[in-house]
Amino acid sequence: MISTPDRQAAVMLIHEAVAAGARKRVACRELGITLRTLERWTQTGVVGSDRRPQAHRPVPPNRLSEAERAEALRVVNEPRFASLPPTQIVPRLADEGRYIASESTLYRLLRAANQLAHRGRAKTPDTRPIPRHRARGANTLWCWDISYLPGPVSGQFFFLYLVLDIYSRKIVAHEVHEEESGDHAAALIRQALVREGVTDRRPLVLHQDNGSPMKASTFVATLDALGVRRSYSRPGVSDDNAYAESLFRTCKYRPGYPGAFGSLAKARAWMLAFVRWYNHHHKHRNLKFVSPAERHTGAGVASPNGRRTP
């Protein structure tokens, strides 16, 4: 909504433009409003504040009266309906030739009366907030994931483990194994922490999805023992771990990607070459075209146009 001073200023500018010979509709368009909006602002002769939040709105003709609301609550609280949800109450009443309200209305009345509770043995659904973290420097925020690498025959796969520093986009650790395992993941994170010199005095957040290796007791215990804070994607939201997914795409669309690997040794050798290229030679667009390794160390980059590491 536009504030009252802004409205008054806009009306004054439009009047000045009209007095100078401009058409009112064109003047309104220049200010980003319609002629009807101007007419609504000036219909009383005084430009006032927006009254839409306090506007009087007619009551819907099918709204239940207080007596009907009380009767609906009385019916749903009868002993025969006390343990049933509205989705079962409405058809049972229909079998008796009665209709007091729709399912959604009954749910709304029960909610307003604080009588709506989760039913059944299923876990109460919860809404998880969007994971939000800020990478303020290298080795403060990592993410990791596992992806398939096709093997020598159809249906056989190797598993690529990648750990990415979000601040610098550097691959701080990687490995290829023949199976998904929380033990392999725990060893990889421990190796990455030692290699990067990260201690429990430097807080580190590790973001991941909800796969079984990420929730494995061995892996969780390792992170807790190392002082690494865990962060998880929301269930069913695939793009909460977008940096890792983007890295997998960069890897598998790299020229020379074989598409399938004849052995575990060949998969490991190709990934080692890819990681070296990505970290030291790949000019990352989101890093203003410096390599992840340069961003990670903060080293300046001399170039003909004087560009330096961000």
188, 196 Cβ separation under 8 angstroms: no
Give the β-pairing of 204-208 and 228-232. Answer: parallel
Compute how many other C-beta atoms are within 10 angstroms of the C-beta atom of residue 62. 7
What average pLDDT does the chain have?
90
**223-229: long-range pairs with CB below 8 Å, 24+:** 223/186, 223/189, 226/189, 226/190, 226/193, 226/200, 227/199, 227/200, 227/203, 228/189, 228/193, 228/204, 229/203, 229/204, 229/205
Query: Whose CA is closest to 214, among 240, 253, 247?
Result: 240
Here the tokens at position 201 are 């005095």
d(CA 268, CA 261): 9
pLDDT value at residue 148: 96
pLDDT value at residue 119: 67
Lowest-confidence pick of 87-96, 194-203, 227-236, 296-305? 296-305
pLDDT value at residue 245: 95
d(CA 32, CA 36): 12
Average pLDDT estimate for 235-251: 91
Residue 129, exposed/middle/buried by CB under 10 A (0-12, 13-18, 19+)? Answer: exposed
pLDDT value at residue 300: 53
Residue 239, exposed/middle/buried by CB under 10 A (0-12, 13-18, 19+)? Answer: exposed
DSSP state at residue 240: G
DSSP state at residue 129: P
Average pLDDT estimate for 151-179: 96
Lowest-confidence pick of 203-212, 286-295, 296-305? 296-305
pLDDT value at residue 173: 96
* Full strand arrangement of the beta sheet holding 171-177: 171-177, 157-165, 141-150, 204-208, 228-232
Cα distance between the two ends of the chain: 39
Task: Label residues 172-204 b or e (16+ Cβ within 10 Å = b).
Answer: bbbbbbeebbbebbbbbbbebbeebebeeeeeb
- Say if residue 304's pLDDT is above 50: no
The dihedrals phi and psi of 165, each to the nearest 5 degrees, come to: -85, 120
DSSP state at residue 290: B
CATH code 3.50.50.60 for 141-297:
no
Q: Domains of the chain: which residue ranges?
A: 4-42, 66-112, 141-297
163, 141 Cβ separation under 8 angstroms: no
d(CA 173, CA 186): 12
Average pLDDT estimate for 1-21: 90
